[in-house]
Structure 1
Amino acid sequence: MRNRQSVFAKYLPPIWLRFLIIILLILGIFFRFAYLDRKVYWHDEAYTSLRISGYTKTEFVQQVFNGRVFAVGDIQKYQQPNSDKGLINTINSLAVEDAQHPPLYYVMLRLWMQFFGNSVATTRSLSAIISLLAFPCIYWLCLELFQSPITAWISVALLTVSPFHVLYAQEAREFGLWVVTTLLGSAALLRAIRLGSKQLWGIYAVTVALGLYTFLFSGLLAIAHGIYVFAIERFRFTKSVKAYLIATSVGFLAFVPWILTVINSLSEIDRTTTSAQTRQSLSILVSNWIKNISYLFGDFWRYELYFPDLNLPILRWGRFLIPLILILVVYSFLFIYSHAGKRVWFFVFILSGVPALALILSDLIIGGKLSLRPRYVIPCYLGIQLAVAYLLAAQIISSKLITRKFWQLVMVVIISIGVVSCTISSQAETWWNKGSHANPQIARSINQANHPLLISSNYSLNIGDLMSLIHLLDEKVQMQLVIEPSIPNIPDSFSNLFLYNPSKIFRSELEKKYKLVDVFQYSRLWRLEQKSS
């Protein structure tokens, strides 16, 4: 085993692989920055912009959902930095209403938008730039973990065209930053363990704090790191264990101000996450876990949902790749367990297992679907990619020609699946990681109308979806929003009246005076027509 590892560590990527990686890096950068404003700026991203504006949701509803008629341009100040609210207001908006999302990314984005503008492309470009840091971070992590340049380069190659990572690199949320802090923290931990330097443990402490200020579930990553350190030190109180405990404590102490904010906001967090607590059957959970894992490598077979007029039967066969991808992932974990040293395979297992298992147990015991949201289990998916990279790196340099050729083919197929997936999804207005799917079509219908008025309420998820819609509507469009059960007093001066996603009660009240006509099927949009007297 030791001799095999020594040879593996010294093996550099062959010329053809280096050339391929350069091409993939170019493609990866292109996919992250191309068509940044094409996909719908959806519900969650709209809430990002609300926080950036410095307004709270309560303020937004009070000032806009009051039955008055507003032009879309008048409401846009709630979706961009403005002179009325500053950086402190952005932090306060999160602290008061959305403490489960720590402020680091939002502060960075606020400053970014103040300097470079507030278009959708500009807003998302910060995430795209941050995502590029994941390339050197995963390379460094692989060098620390595997001591293998070829594994490091293959890990970079897989990351460049992973549909999952490309999609979140183009989203105005903190998850691209979380990928970077996860990789950086893991690499810093391994190097600190190996060299034992106080400076390196200090760097690890900083990464703990950065991770926590990026996303709360970084606490699960710190726990996974702790289990790893204790296990490799055989549960003895060694210098590495002491250093880990001190560094982690420092990181958590730096996060204490926001921990107190979270504690003070527990009731608000519980209220906003109620929708995620519906109990799911085991079969639904398992099938979605498998599907989500497949998105790491490909998702082009979902094109029919977003390109209904595109008839490419060959792409439909892609769904049969899902079980094959699952087999590859399972085999990669078996392979790394049987061929790598304990320090290597145990780290990959812990990185993948602890964060995912915590959410899975929560869903199974308490009920919910946290584990079904891929963005919440990013450390798990990074562990999967490390395992697959190790398998491919080991096999494409096998001494057996047939083994080497087979796994080179597998690697090319995996990369090709990713390239095809990124190419197709880059042309879509929405994709599986988005909500507010119908908004682009809804906006086109409203924008094409003469002198339109859009009427809606605070029902269900309307607040976020309407903020999303603001980014697509022409400034000529007027909006009249109310808090249910209030019914608006609709002016007679508009040529076209539209109703967006009303509750049954709201709709029935309007039907007393108006005839409701579906604009298009399943759109949640109706046209109001005056009933003849």
Structure 2
Amino acid sequence: MHHIKLAPSWLRFLIVVLLVIGIFFRFVNLERKVYWHDETYTSLRISGYTAQEVRQQLFNNRVITGTYFDKYQRPNPEKNLGDTIKSLAIEDPQHPPLYYIIARFWVQIFGNSVTAIRSLSAFISLLVFPCVYWLCKELFRVPLSVPFIAIALMAISPIHLVYAQEAREYMLWTVTILLSSASLLRAIRLESKNKQLAKKHQASNPIFVWGIYAATLALSLYTFLLSGFVALAHGFYVLTIAKFKFTKIVKAYLLASLAGFLAFLPWILVVLFNFSQLDSATSWTKMPINFITLIQAWLIQLSHIFFDLNFGFENPLIYLITPVILILVGYAIYFLYRTTNEKVWLFIVLLIAVPALPLMLPDLLFGGIRSLSDRYLLPSYLGIQIAVAYLLATQIYSGNLARRQIWQMITVLVITCGVISCGVSSQTKTWWSKVISYGNPQVATIINQASRPLLISDSFGINYGNVFSLSYLLEPKVRFILVKEEKIPKISHQFTDVFFINPANNFRQKIETSYKSKLNLVYQDNYYSLWKLAKPRI
């Protein structure tokens, strides 16, 4: 490792270019992609209303316009910051309040447009670059190009772009993971030094840095509950390098961790008191899935780190790409293990494995799709990207000329794949990350083509979030009837086309019987369907 020098000027220039490209893609076309189901819940929390209140006020079998949705998608005088926190505690305890508090203030300053709310995540994503630089400098103490390569990979990483353009907490979570990890490594390093040397500057004082670790751990927990797995990885790391002895470093770590979790105690109590609601809100993760499909999905998720053109299982190209990326990642981890000391490779391996295994193993043993949400695996993706950055940074300088040229070409290929992926993603109206709202742009196009359309929906399952998502895409001429408990709505003659979102079989039969007309399927995907009433006889 010691023979590797700082990045040459040409490489640093390339990093700057890639950084500019990455920043550009984070802010371009922020409003283009569908504002999907989960993002409408972000806006709901910002407004301070609960979904139950919306159901009582909107789902009343009356004809309304799209403007009725606005009240529940922005801050308003009726609700305050306390209501935002309360709505999360009551209905979404799996989502701690830090991001939503920041988002509420952000929207109050910059407005509640899709561009404005998503720009918060885009700006937060820029903090990833200095944070990953700090983490890599703490991991690789000798002069290396690793921090620069890591910044480049994350700047043009498709998975980072996805969440940098989404009104959710996942970019803030990424930043807090990097900060807590870097501060932990720095605190351990300073604790190992002579006390007199460590106290020369406050920033070099191990007590001060342990305080930073406690604070960033608490911030990470208040951003996303799965930060607990990252904290667990940190704990395993500290105990392992201490040879499972109660050393000074272990004692300092335990005190800092205890401080971080004590700061998070109020929300831990919220989760415990509302655990049934949390279990209900996350019940979708227990959906059964075929074993082969699960493995295929994992491989596709792995490819999202470096290359993503929105390919699904049906595209044969994915079966060529994913094995290549799997080999690259596998070799990167092996190379890291063989060429670095335990304090380096162990940290990265634990960062990859500990957050992932509690999600993957239950899916393998008991069934479910816990591990099929890329956002839950962001800590593991960070570890993988750092491992690959180390591999590329070392290999483009090592060995004979032919070997260096091969690895330089591999590096260029990885970078090219990322840039192409970001370019394609920036021009589309939907993406795999929109999941249950993936087809909403197409659904909206169908409805908007009608001259006087009426859209009818209940609040069951995903319908509630999707009708809010559609309200961002539908033209002002569209009217809505939001039904309660599958009550048969009264449909006026003034509407030329009547559409239904995801009508249950019983409800569909009631409609057909009541209006003596057939409901025809006009759109269907894996998550929901759109039906059209053929000729309503009122």
TM-score norm. by structure 1 comes to 0.94
Q: Say which SS state the counterpart of residue 7 (structure 1) adopts.
A: coil
Matched, 1:242 2:251: yes
- Equivalent pair of 2:144/2:393 in contact (CA under 8 Å): no
Work out the percentage of aligned pairs sharing the same amino acid.
52
Partner of 1:422: 422
Cα deviation, 1:486-512, whole Å, max 9, x if unaligned, reads: 221223332332222211111111112
Partner of 1:529: 534
Q: Say which SS state the counterpart of residue 222 (structure 2) adopts.
A: helix
- Equivalent pair of 2:310/2:432 in contact (CA under 8 Å): no
- Equivalent pair of 2:296/2:313 in contact (CA under 8 Å): no
Shift of 1:366: 4.0
Cα deviation, 1:138-168, whole Å, max 9, x if unaligned, reads: 0110000012440010000100000000111
Partner of 1:310: none
Q: Which amino acid aligns with 2:359?
A: L
- Equivalent pair of 1:484/1:506 in contact (CA under 8 Å): no
Q: 1:304 to 1:364 in 2, by over 3 A?
A: closer
- Equivalent pair of 1:278/1:368 in contact (CA under 8 Å): yes
How far apart in 2 are the matches of 1:46 and 1:304? Answer: 28
Shift of 1:321: 1.7
Matched, 1:168 2:163: yes
Partner of 1:377: 377
How far apart in 1 are the matches of 2:236 and 2:531? Answer: 55
| 1:12-51 equivalences in 2 (<5 Å) | 12-51=6-45
Partner of 1:515: 518
Cα deviation, 1:159-213, whole Å, max 9, x if unaligned, reads: 0000000111000111111111111110000001001210000000001100000
Runs of 4 or more above 6 Å deviation:
none
Partner of 2:172: 177
Shift of 1:421: 0.7
Segments of structure 1 that go 5 or more residues without pairing to the other structure are 306-314
Shift of 1:390: 0.7
Cα deviation, 1:308-366, whole Å, max 9, x if unaligned, reads: xxxxxxx9746512100100000011101101111101111111011101111232344
Q: 1:76 to 1:414 in 2, by over 3 A?
A: same
Q: Say which SS state the counterpart of residue 534 (structure 2) adopts.
A: strand
Q: Which amino acid aligns with 1:222?
A: A
Q: Say which SS state the counterpart of residue 533 (structure 2) adopts.
A: strand
Shift of 1:442: 1.7
Partner of 2:455: 454
Shift of 1:301: 6.1
Which of 207, 221, 233 matches 1:224? 233
Partner of 2:80: 86
- Equivalent pair of 2:356/2:377 in contact (CA under 8 Å): yes
Aligned pairs, how many?
518
Partner of 2:117: 123
Partner of 1:264: 273
Shift of 1:471: 1.1
Partner of 1:367: 367
How far apart in 1 are the matches of 2:427 and 2:281? Answer: 32
The CA RMSD measured in Å over matched residues stands at: 1.8
Which of 182, 187, 190 matches 2:185? 190
Q: Say which SS state the counterpart of residue 518 (structure 2) adopts.
A: strand
Q: 1:163 to 1:140 in 2, by over 3 A?
A: same
Moved more, 49-58 or 276-285: 276-285
| 1:63-462 equivalences in 2 (<5 Å) | 63-147=57-141, 148-196=143-191, 197-300=206-309, 302=311, 317=317, 319-435=319-435, 436-462=437-463
Moved more, 479-488 or 331-340: 479-488
Matched, 1:500 2:501: yes
Q: Say which SS state the counterpart of residue 517 (structure 1) adopts.
A: strand
- Equivalent pair of 2:19/2:155 in contact (CA under 8 Å): yes
- Equivalent pair of 1:158/1:389 in contact (CA under 8 Å): yes
Q: Say which SS state the counterpart of residue 433 (structure 2) adopts.
A: coil
How far apart in 2 are the matches of 1:225 and 1:300? Answer: 34
Shift of 1:438: 1.6
- Equivalent pair of 1:303/1:425 in contact (CA under 8 Å): no
Cα deviation, 1:358-405, whole Å, max 9, x if unaligned, reads: 111232344321111111011111111111111111101114211111
